[in-house]
């Protein structure tokens, strides 16, 4: 844009309106902020920042349909906009659309990691919640279907035994043998169906998935020269507030000595995806 041309003047005015909108938002005058962001975007419709900010306002007001509309517009303008994917994922989650939320939050997490965004942990926890809620919904529906299927299979086995005994002059030994076979078949069915049930539930995650400092699930582990991994933010806080030493070995340790443990991060995510009930521990 050339200074003095209409586009330049419109952008300058839009930036002033956005700044006033920010001031209103911080003063909790959300409605006024929405109006100012709307004016800014109307003046400069190729600039998506006011639209992202308006989505944030509507998120605060829980106007989820409006959040979805604004974020989808922003993503069409700029597919790499982290906040648009994040807010859209949160909106879908609040509207009980867990599968849609997972798709947007996955993309938001990729962008947050690529840019080392300060909201990276917030995005990860929202994604964990979305995956847990998606799993819970699926597990509930599967439990109903599993119980119904088990009941029908046992009914069929019982009817089959009844037909076999009815078709011949069954004596006591035949009745006993068929009853025992039926009990064995029912026990095997219970065992098979129980193994399926266990795939959808669990109690706790393995120790290797958790940080020794936070006792929470890893999401961004870093490795020290001693070979011990910690959650990045927790370890950085330790180095800043407690001292520059390894929390376990007590060896001297500085921020520049840390290395991202991508292998552990990938292993934790694989475990969580294979055992989605465990996302409860990552929320």
pTM here is: 0.79
167 has a pLDDT exceeding 80:
no
Segment 58-91, tens digit of pLDDT: 999 999 999 999 999 999 999 999 999 999 999 9
In angstroms, the CA 9 to CA 3 distance is 8
In angstroms, the CA 76 to CA 69 distance is 11
Are the beta carbons of 79 and 95 closer than 8 angstroms? no
Tokens of 164: 């076999």
Q: How many helices (H) and strands (E) does the chain have?
A: 10, 3
Are the beta carbons of 139 and 201 closer than 8 angstroms? yes
- Residue 2, pLDDT score: 46
Maximum Cα–Cα distance across the chain: 105
In angstroms, the CA 32 to CA 10 distance is 20
In angstroms, the CA 218 to CA 136 distance is 21
- Residue 138, pLDDT score: 86
Q: How many CA atoms lie within 13 A of 247 on its CB side?
A: 19
Segment 111-165, tens digit of pLDDT: 999 999 999 999 999 999 999 999 998 888 899 999 999 999 999 999 988 888 8
């Amino acid at each position: 844009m050339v200074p003095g041309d209409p586009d330049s003047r419109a952008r300058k005015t839009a930036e002033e309106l956005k700044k006033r909108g920010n001031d209103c938002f911080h003063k909790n005058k959300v409605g006024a902020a929405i109006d100012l962001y709307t004016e800014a975007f109307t003046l400069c419709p190729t600039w998506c920042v006011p639209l992202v900010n308006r989505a944030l306002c509507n998120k605060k007001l829980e106007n989820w349909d409006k959040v979805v509309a604004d974020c989808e517009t922003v993503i069409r303008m700029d597919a790499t906009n982290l906040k648009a994917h994040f807010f859209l994922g949160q909106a879908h989650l609040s509207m009980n659309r867990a599968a849609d939320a997972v798709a947007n939050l996955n993309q938001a997490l990729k962008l947050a990691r690529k840019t080392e965004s300060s909201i990276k942990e917030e995005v990860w926890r929202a994604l964990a919640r979305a995956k847990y809620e998606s799993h819970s919904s699926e597990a509930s529906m599967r439990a109903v279907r599993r119980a119904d299927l088990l009941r029908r299979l046992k009914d069929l086995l019982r009817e089959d035994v009844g037909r076999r005994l009815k078709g011949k002059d069954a004596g006591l030994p035949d009745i006993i043998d068929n009853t025992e076979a039926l009990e064995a078949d029912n026990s095997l069915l219970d065992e098979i169906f129980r193994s399926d049930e266990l795939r959808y539930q669990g109690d706790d995650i393995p120790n290797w998935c958790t940080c020794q400092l936070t006792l929470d699930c890893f999401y961004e582990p870093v490795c020290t020269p001693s070979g011990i991994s910690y959650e990045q933010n927790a370890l950085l806080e330790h180095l800043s507030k407690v001292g520059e030493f390894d929390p376990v070995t007590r060896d001297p340790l500085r921020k520049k000595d840390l290395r991202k443990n991508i292998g552990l991060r990938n292993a934790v995510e694989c475990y969580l995806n294979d055992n989605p009930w465990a996302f409860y521990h990552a929320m």
